[in-house]
Amino acid sequence: MTPEAALGLALDRAREPGLEMPIAAVVIDPAGTVIAHGVNRREADSDPTAHAEILALREAGRVLGDWRLTGCTLAVTLEPCTMCAGAAVLARVDRLVFGAFDDKAGAVGGLWDVVRDPRLNHRVEVVAGVRESECSRLLSAFFGQRR
């Protein structure tokens, strides 16, 4: 599956009505099948770790019956934070595709670059800025309505 198509699937989820935030993630297996998805649920679950990426990675592990997500792609609408970038490394995700950069908390080349740190035992291929303007507009519109 192309990075654009993968990000498109995450964008479809992020556009669903009633979300806490328009941030969504999908995990795609090596065959190109979506095996998991997640949206931010911190408020709904009263869980500071309930980021879209974490929820998608957890579901993917359950689906595959393994914590190692070797060969999988994680696609997310916003650059992952330190926690989510670290989770992608620990899950052994092969590729991370993201849309909008996060200047305040991004850990995949923004403020930090956790997934490509040579001191870690696994590095993730990164495809950054995919459908960036779409992702940025979606987030800007959401926060504009909340102000």
Q: How far is CA 54 from CA 84, 85, 118, in A?
A: 6, 9, 23
Cβ atoms of 13 and 39 closer than 8 Å? yes
Catalytic one of 16, 43, 53, 132: 53
Could you confirm whether 16 is annotated as catalytic? no
**What end-to-end distance do the CA atoms of the chain give, in Å?**
37
Q: What residues are annotated to the active site?
A: 53
